[in-house]
Amino acid sequence: MRVTTPNDPARTEASHWPGEPEPVETAQETPEPKQTPWYIEIPVVVVLTLALMFVIQTFLGRLYVIPSASMEPTLHGESGSGDRILVQKVSYYFSDPEPGDVVVFKGTDSWNTGFVSNRSNNTFIRGMQEVGSWVGLVPKDENTLVKRIIAEGGQTVSCQAGDPAVMVDGSPIDQSYVLDPPTYPVDMTTGSQACGGDFFGPLTVPEGHYFMMGDNRTNSLDSRAHMGDELQGTIPRENFRGKVSAVVFPLSRLGGVDDPDIQR
């Protein structure tokens, strides 16, 4: 008979001497993952956050502040305390802007008279402002305005004595959203309340352009005020920054912004 010892390699894993405790396997400890230093983690989080904000601002939408009363009663505006509105771009990826939409757009040259740049004269600060505008921390250095689309390319818009409303292709548009009574009285010798001021037109809107008007008709410098420029007061599609979808602040005015079919 062969005699084995506890250290004998001939012993099997399951074998043990009488009275010996069963062999117990110990779990191998796994080393804890090395923690990223804070001085690396914080900059990474900041960069990723700014990158996400850039994508949102560039492709989805952004917030704007209404600075004037030209779109009342739909949008309330006052310097420093106007409505904060959500302007989204997604809708116009899949469909064209339509009459009745409330749109934020960049003004053309004739609309920009009196516009003052919000950028610093200091090169470094101006650069920081520009970077901030990419992520929505600073306003863009452009004259952005908000109005409602009244007519689109190929349509003829006008308002003359005796017309019951602004006319598009000979038919009156819905004006239920217009501020009534008007902010300022209308000179009835040169215009009418139905026109929201002086008579104008007829004007055929160039293709790819839009005729814009404020809902506060007697207190809005819109396409009517620029009909003598090279674009006849219209705004090209590429100048649109997005469609106004909602008022998000103040909370007392939280809600969506209607886009009625004004040419029904």
Pairing of strands 197-198, 191-192: antiparallel
Structure tokens that stand for 55 in this block: 């994508």
Q: Is 70 a catalytic residue?
A: yes
Structure tokens that stand for 181 in this block: 């009574």
- The residues facing 178 across adjacent strands are none
Buried-exposed string 242-260: b where 16+ CB fall within 10 A, e elsewhere: bbbbebeeeeeeeeebebe
Residues 112/130/251/243 CA torsion (nearest 10 deg): 60
- Residue owning tokens 């001497």: 17
The residue from 68, 133, 147, 220 that is catalytic is 147
**Around 96, how many Cα atoms within 13 Å sit in the side-chain half-sphere?**
12
DSSP labels, 3-39: ---TT-TTS-TT---TTPPPP-PPPPPPPPPPPPPHH
Three-state DSSP at 219 gives helix
Residue 51 phi, psi (nearest 5): -65, -40
Q: Rounded to whole angstroms, what are the CA distances from 70 to 55, 142, 145, 223, 243?
A: 31, 18, 10, 13, 17
Q: Is 91 a catalytic residue?
A: no
The residue from 68, 70, 133, 158 that is catalytic is 70
Catalytically active residues, by annotation: 70, 147
